[in-house]
Structure 1
Amino acid sequence: MTTKLEKLEAAVTSVLGGRVLESRNALDELTVVVAPADYLSVMRDLRDHSDTCFEELIDLCGVDYSSYGDGSWEGARFAVVSHLLSIEHNWRLRVRVFAIDDDMPLIPSVCDVWNAANWYEREAFDLFGILFDGHNDLRRILTDYGFIGHPFRKDFPVSGYVEMRYDADQKRVVYQPVTVEPRENTPRVIREENYGMK
């Protein structure tokens, strides 16, 4: 007897064919990896084909793999991961696409496929610096417009590059280089011999 996950994998393979670079079933979830050149057509087919019918984009996020696996990762640095839902079939699917260029990660936008992708793609751009080709309003959404860098990248310093404060003399917010020296805080734990015992 075939399981629901096996039926999903068969349907996705049937619809996408050779465009699936990798298919992985882990923890009762199916993840497929596709090439950036096929990403937009794959997403349209997953939505429109009656065998898959993924009518809803639940989530889309950026991922920085630069220090994945304690730095043993050898693939592309940036990926976009989308989570899809088919209400008709009661299926969930994860689609991963890796950006070809680590210096300027560029992925096609799926805003025309699912309107919900708009703010998700803006968030991935703001926090990871992933660009979405075809997005009509790609601007920062969580950080300040004057913010420099992308704070969820693994090489971004924890303390940032600049700090913001209100200057009472100038009566405005000013930016200045970070004044906090990097340091390691190790908590000191004190345990009593009979703690919690009566």
Structure 2
Amino acid sequence: MKIALFGATGHVGHAILDEALARGADVTAIVRDPSRLTTKDDRVKVVTGDIANPESWLDAVRGSDVMIVSISARRDGSNDAVPAIAATVLDYLPKAGVKRLVWVGGAASLETSPGVRVIDDPHFPAAWKDEAQGQIKALEVFRHDKGEVQWTFISPSALLEDGPRTGKYRVGSDQLLMDANGKSHISVPDYAVALLDRVEKNDARRQRITVGY
């Protein structure tokens, strides 16, 4: 398996990198600052590039079986950055001959009851709203796409937190998953497990799914 990965220097992206390597994949990590990627492995090819500038990564991702994107617009300070990047990737990825895309999405658009989303809760943290809106807009970009890319948008549970890798999780669609105690959560390593399972099984194509306990 050959994977092109954006966001390998981030918390979730690094977990995805670790899981991919544990499964024997070869990874091309496209990063803006290579000095931030500390993983040393012969199967990791580090390329300097910016996802918003396709010319910086088109050649690097050719021959990949899948592109995985785990990005945040916190440094850009605009909730329009992420949906713009989603549109750019959908447009340019076929030019590199890559037809499969897996996107690390947010939980804010998941429903807690019919027509009520996580972000609609009056207790939703104000500090998270701008980033959450960016992912909500990105999901709409995917859902309106008429192109050939086989995308999957994977929302975590409400809490995506550090914890053990158990290899256990459930898969849902547009509704927030809760465990037996009413908690919506998944560990970062198990989120990475669920994501790489989708890559290996090549399922959930052109769908938004959610994963949790």
Q: Same fold (TM over 0.5)?
A: no
Higher strand share: 1
The structure showing larger relative contact order (alpha-carbon pairs under 8 Å, at least 6 residues apart) is: 2
Q: TM-score, normalised by structure 1?
A: 0.32
Higher helix share: 2
Q: Decide which structure has the larger Cα Rg and report it.
A: 1
Q: TM-score, normalised by structure 2?
A: 0.31
